[in-house]
């Protein structure tokens, strides 16, 4: 088993550093889209995690990005990340509900660790923004049309960053980006929207504190964006819940049943149960494999009979074609200060 040592850089604590032959800087953001609603096959059957055995699969990856594309092939699109050898890649893969297929587009974004990525229902394309290549942060915008990537050239763009949170807002029909961080600007808490042509910085009356590594998804049942946790350096890991109504952010009281503090967790809207699903992540107290759902007002911890092992920094999306949430890869603990990268595929539904 190939092991990778992981730790926080001294100073701000902004980055986690991977060693795998050559060093690779790992950053993460969470993404989401608005999937069409589907009905549960059996309302009495509780959702559960199931490990899949696809004939083909991407290599073990840390910090890729993923979003479901219902218009172009009805497939989840996976991009980027770093491999066990420490190489940051720019490969594109799609998941059709049964297996993975590597795509070979004529044009691709550069090799990136966790850019922000979301399906834009207004334009029928997957949007990718920013990310890091281990040494530099980016602020370029790309779109995927099912065949190739196209770099966009908006009149206005957010500053360069990685580990930002991005999801499609079905209430305003725009892609919303929040926070993240960069080597020059540090932690950010700005809110931006993408209308298919350009970016616009929004000016909400209230905002979450500056952070990266948080998780975000659009809750189609309540028509609000949900953001949880993350990391802010000085204060460590976070466990607060915020919602975005298209105009401003609202902080929700932290109830006794709220998830513990964490960052790099997996989050997606599960249209089959009309809840936001959150799995795993990591914190100052350890790595996690708990499953939580948000119903628009409160969190509930689920008790599946089967579950992926503790992990963080992988990719997740709702697969509307199968009515399942699909989860891929990430990093898992092996022993203290050591991790291994994963190439397993799981579904929730």
Buried b (16+ CB within 10 A) or exposed e, 190-212: bbbbbebeebbebebeebbebbb
Distances (CA, A) of 101 to 77, 131, 258, 328: 10, 23, 37, 14
Q: What angle (nearest 5°) sits at the alpha carbon of residue 77, between those of residues 76 and 78?
A: 120
Nearest to 277 by CA among 257, 251, 259: 259
Q: What's the chain's average pLDDT?
A: 89
Nearest to 14 by CA among 241, 180, 208: 180
Bridge partners of residue 8, in order along the sequence: 16
Contact 260, 288 (CB under 8 A): yes
Using CA atoms, how far apart are residues 290 and 302, in angstroms rounded to an integer? Answer: 8
Using CA atoms, how far apart are residues 117 and 136, in angstroms rounded to an integer? Answer: 18
How buried is residue 99: exposed, middle or buried, by Cβ count under 10 Å (0-12/13-18/19+)? middle
pLDDT in tens, 309-341: 999 999 999 999 999 999 999 999 987 778 999
Which DSSP letter does residue 260 get? Answer: P
Distances (CA, A) of 316 to 34, 278, 347: 14, 10, 9
Q: What is the pLDDT of residue 235?
A: 67
- What's the CA dihedral at 313, 265, 44, 54 to 10 degrees? 0
Cα-Cα-Cα-Cα dihedral sign, residues 203, 208, 213, 217: negative
Q: What is the pLDDT of residue 46?
A: 86
Let me know how many helices (H) and strands (E) the chain has, helices first.
0, 28
pLDDT in tens, 71-83: 998 999 999 999 9
| Domains along the chain with CATH numbers | 4-348 (2.120.10.80)
Contact 113, 212 (CB under 8 A): no
Contact 274, 24 (CB under 8 A): no
- Average pLDDT over every residue of 202-213: 97
Cα-Cα-Cα-Cα dihedral sign, residues 246, 248, 249, 253: negative
Q: Say whether pLDDT at 162 is over 90.
A: yes
- Average pLDDT over every residue of 239-255: 96
pLDDT in tens, 30-60: 444 444 444 444 455 789 999 999 999 999 9
Q: Give the lowest-confidence range in 23-27, 196-200, 234-238, 246-250.
A: 23-27
pLDDT in tens, 296-309: 999 999 999 999 99
- Average pLDDT over every residue of 238-256: 95
CB atoms within 10 A of CB 222: 17
């Amino acid at each position: 088993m190939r092991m990778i040592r992981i730790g926080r850089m001294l100073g701000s604590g902004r980055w986690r550093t991977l060693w795998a032959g050559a060093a690779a800087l790992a950053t993460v953001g969470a993404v989401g889209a608005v999937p069409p609603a589907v009905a549960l096959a059996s309302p009495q059957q509780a959702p559960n995690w199931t490990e899949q055995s696809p004939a083909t699969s991407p290599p073990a990856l840390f910090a890729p990005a993923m979003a479901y594309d219902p218009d172009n092939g009805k497939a989840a699109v996976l991009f980027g990340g770093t491999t066990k050898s420490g190489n940051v890649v720019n490969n594109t893969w799609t998941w059709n509900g049964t297996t993975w297929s590597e795509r070979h587009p004529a044009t691709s974004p550069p090799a990136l660790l966790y850019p922000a990525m979301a399906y834009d229902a207004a334009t029928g394309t997957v949007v990718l923004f920013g990310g890091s290549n281990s040494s530099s942060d980016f602020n370029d915008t790309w779109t995927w049309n099912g065949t190739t990537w196209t770099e966009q050239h908006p009149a206005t763009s957010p500053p360069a960053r990685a580990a930002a949170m991005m999801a499609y807002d079905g209430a305003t029909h725009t892609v919303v980006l929040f926070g993240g961080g960069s080597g020059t600007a540090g932690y950010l808490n700005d809110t931006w929207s993408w209308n298919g042509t350009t970016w616009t910085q929004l000016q909400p009356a209230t905002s979450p504190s500056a952070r990266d590594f948080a998780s975000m998804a659009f809750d189609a049942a309540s028509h609000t964006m949900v953001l949880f946790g993350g990391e802010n350096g000085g204060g460590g890991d976070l466990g607060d819940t915020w919602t975005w109504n298209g105009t401003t952010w609202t902080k929700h009281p932290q109830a006794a049943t709220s998830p513990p503090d964490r960052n790099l967790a997996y989050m997606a809207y599960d249209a089959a149960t009309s809840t936001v699903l959150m799995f795993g992540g990591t914190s100052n107290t350890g790595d996690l494999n708990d499953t939580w759902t948000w119903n628009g007002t409160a969190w509930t911890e689920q008790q599946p009979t089967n579950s992926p092992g503790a992990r963080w920094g992988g990719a997740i999306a709702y697969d509307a074609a199968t009515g399942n949430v699909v989860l891929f890869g990430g990093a898992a603990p092996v022993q203290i200060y050591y991790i291994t990268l994963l190439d397993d595929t799981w579904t929730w539904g």
